[in-house]
Structure 1
Amino acid sequence: MDRVRGISGTHTVQVPALKPISLVVHHGESVGVIGTNGSGKSTLMKILTGRVLPTTGNVYASSTPIMLGVNAALVQQLSGGDNITLGCLAMGMTKEQVAAKRQGIVELSGLEDSLHLPLRSYSSGMAARLQFAIATSVDPEILIIDEALNTGDAQFRNRTRRRLDTLRTEAGCVFLVSHSLATIKEMCSRTIWLEKGELIMDGDPEEVTSTYAVYAKKLGQSKPRGARLIREAKQRELAKTVVSWR
Structure 2
Amino acid sequence: MVDTDTKVRGALEIDPKREPIVVVDDLHIVYRVYGAGGKGNAATAFSRVLRRQHRPSMTEVHAIKGLSFVVYRGEAVGIIGSNGSGKSTLLKAIAGLLPPHRGGVYTDGQPSLLGVNAALMKDLTGERNIVLGCLAMGMSPAEVRDRYGKIVDFAGLKEGFIQYPMRTYSSGMGARLRFAIAAAKTHDVLLIDEALATGDAKFRVKSKRRVEELRNEAGAVFLVAHQLDTVKDMCDRVIWIEEGRMRMDGDPEEVVAAYTEATGK
Q: Secondary structure at 1:53's aligned position in 2?
A: coil
TM-score normalised per structure 1 = 0.84
The match for 2:227 is 180
Q: Does 2:187 match 1:140?
A: yes
- For residues 112 and 88 of structure 1, what CA distance do their matches in structure 2 show? 21
Q: Does 2:98 match 1:52?
A: yes
Aligned partners of 1:34 and 1:177 also within 8 Å: yes
- For residues 178 and 203 of structure 1, what CA distance do their matches in structure 2 show? 17
- For residues 58 and 203 of structure 2, what CA distance do their matches in structure 1 show? 46
Aligned partners of 1:147 and 1:177 also within 8 Å: yes
The match for 2:150 is 104
Q: Does 2:249 match 1:207?
A: no
Say which is worse superposed, 97-106 or 125-134, in terms of deviation.
97-106
Q: Secondary structure at 2:72's aligned position in 1?
A: coil
TM-score normalised per structure 2 = 0.78
Deviation (angstroms), 1:127: 0.5
- Unmatched runs of 5 consecutive residues or more in structure 2: 1-31, 40-52
Aligned partners of 1:106 and 1:112 also within 8 Å: no
Deviations 1:63-99 (A, max 9, x none): 1210001111111122111211111112221110101
The match for 2:111 is 65
The match for 2:17 is none
The match for 1:25 is 71
Deviations 1:15-71 (A, max 9, x none): 311110111000010000000011111111111011100100111101121000111
The match for 1:121 is 168
- For residues 149 and 218 of structure 2, what CA distance do their matches in structure 1 show? 20
- Unmatched runs of 5 consecutive residues or more in structure 1: 221-246
Among residues 12, 15, 34, which one is paired with 2:61 in the alignment?
15
Deviation (angstroms), 1:4: 3.7
Deviation (angstroms), 1:112: 5.1
- For residues 171 and 216 of structure 2, what CA distance do their matches in structure 1 show? 29
- For residues 5 and 34 of structure 1, what CA distance do their matches in structure 2 show? 32
Deviation (angstroms), 1:171: 1.3
Q: Which has the higher helix share?
A: 1
Q: Which amino acid aligns with 2:123?
A: Q
Deviation (angstroms), 1:9: 5.1
The match for 2:213 is 166
The match for 2:4 is none
The match for 2:7 is none
Q: Which amino acid aligns with 2:243?
A: K
- For residues 164 and 106 of structure 1, what CA distance do their matches in structure 2 show? 17
Aligned partners of 1:161 and 1:187 also within 8 Å: yes
Q: Which amino acid aligns with 1:127?
A: G
Say which is worse superposed, 72-81 or 27-36, in terms of deviation.
72-81
The match for 1:243 is none
The match for 1:239 is none
The match for 1:240 is none
Deviations 1:196-233 (A, max 9, x none): 1110000001110111111111xx7xxxxxxxxxxxxx
- For residues 112 and 93 of structure 1, what CA distance do their matches in structure 2 show? 26
Deviation (angstroms), 1:14: 2.6
RMSD: 1.7
